[in-house]
Amino acid sequence: MAWRSVTKLPTLPFLLLALVTLAHAQTCAFADDSCIDPLAQTAVPLSFSPLFPQNISFYYGFDAAYLSASDGLSLDGQSEGPIVKGSFWLGYGSHISSNSIRANHTSELAVRVGNLTGSPGGGNNGCDGVWGSQCSQDIKRLLQGSIYDLSVMGSYYSNPLQTVLRELWQTPLAIVSCPSTLFTVQSIPVESFAQEDEVSGSVEVVDSGNSVSPWQTWFVHGVTASEQAEQVAVGILSRGPTYGSEQLKNPDDVQIDLVCVRAPQEAR
Ligand SMILES: *[C@@H]1O[C@H](CO)[C@@H](O)[C@H](O)[C@H]1NC(C)=O
Ligand SMILES: *[C@@H]1O[C@H](CO)[C@@H](O)[C@H](O)[C@H]1NC(C)=O
Ligand SMILES: *[C@@H]1O[C@H](CO)[C@@H](O)[C@H](O)[C@H]1NC(C)=O
């Protein structure tokens, strides 16, 4: 008899706790930049070898809202109009190839979304379908060359891809084979996710992301959910020289991979 009352008593508080936890896991306030409750999300597999011998996944998703002045809510100093919250991260297993570590490398992921529509498909993880293979090749060559130049110049930098993209964003360079709006976006968030150390032969990798812990979120003003769904999200992955690492022989030593998706992803 005694055990019954003991087991019965905690039932209600336990149930309440479970409901609260569930509710918390499923919602993320729009204004909270540490998480995302995506209206649309896409994940695509891609290869980023040799560092990751198995395919990794690129995730992009967004949430949308409408700011009205009467709500008294403002984000990034703006208080009226449609707004989108974008997010991205990579997903990968723990298998990393330590025998590919021959220099101090920093790996980064940049994402640009906005002022670019098209149909992802074909080579370069869907980017050739958006702008053609020539443009994909030219973007890779431009970024390889810029990171190579940065590394031989000798002035300090922390994240090579982020450094060269900031310059291209501030002073957009026209690539003849590419859409002219390539660098014309409100922001290009960049996250560094792997740091190789040639001395110890080890690599430090950021944890895979998820919607509770996306790598980054950012706000895009003046864009509605349906407009964002038309936009192609371009992911740029790089594995480049950490500042002060051994001199590169040529720009080809910088690895650049592209990935182009839309959310929601159209059926192919
Ligand atoms: C890795 O991803 C690429 C690009 O999506 C795909 O073509 C390839 O089949 C995948 N490989 C494996 C082993 O899943
Ligand atoms: C598109 O480009 C214009 C400038 O030409 C800029 O004002 C606008 O913010 C860009 N849109 C996005 C979504 O980045
Ligand atoms: C590589 O990184 C390690 C750890 O930060 C450092 O001790 C070493 O000097 C670096 N090697 C080069 C060539 O920069």
164 CB burial (10 A radius; 0-12, 13-18, 19+) = buried
Per-residue model confidence as pLDDT tens digits over 36-65 = 999 999 999 999 999 999 999 999 999 999
Residues framing ligand 3 (Cβ under 6 A): 104, 197-199, 244-246
Give the strands of the sheet with 255-261, arranged side by side: 202-205, 190-197, 105-117, 231-241, 255-261
d(C-alpha 200, C-alpha 181), whole Å: 42
d(C-alpha 180, C-alpha 192), whole Å: 27
Radius of gyration (Cα) for the chain, nearest Å? 22
Residue matched to tokens 């291209």: 168
- So what's the pLDDT on residue 6? 31
Ligand 3 centroid, distance to 258 Cα (angstroms): 28
Per-residue model confidence as pLDDT tens digits over 192-204 = 999 999 999 999 9
Instruction: State whether the beta carbon of 188 lies less than 6 angstroms from ligand 2.
Output: no
Q: How many beta carbons lie within 10 A of that of residue 262, not counting itself?
A: 22
DSSP labels, 30-83:
TT-TT----SEEEEEEEEETTTEEEEEEEEEEEEEEEE-GGGT--BTTB-SEEE
Classified as helix, coil or strand, 24 is helix
Ligand 3 centroid, distance to 101 Cα (angstroms): 12
Token digits for 138? 């030219």
Q: How would you write the pLDDT of the chain (268 residues) with one tens digit per residue?
A: 333 223 333 333 343 334 344 444 558 999 999 999 999 999 999 999 999 999 999 999 999 999 887 776 677 777 789 999 999 999 999 888 888 898 999 999 999 999 999 999 999 999 999 999 999 999 999 999 999 999 999 899 999 999 999 999 999 888 999 999 999 999 999 999 999 999 999 999 999 999 999 999 999 999 999 999 999 999 999 999 999 998 899 999 999 999 999 999 765 4
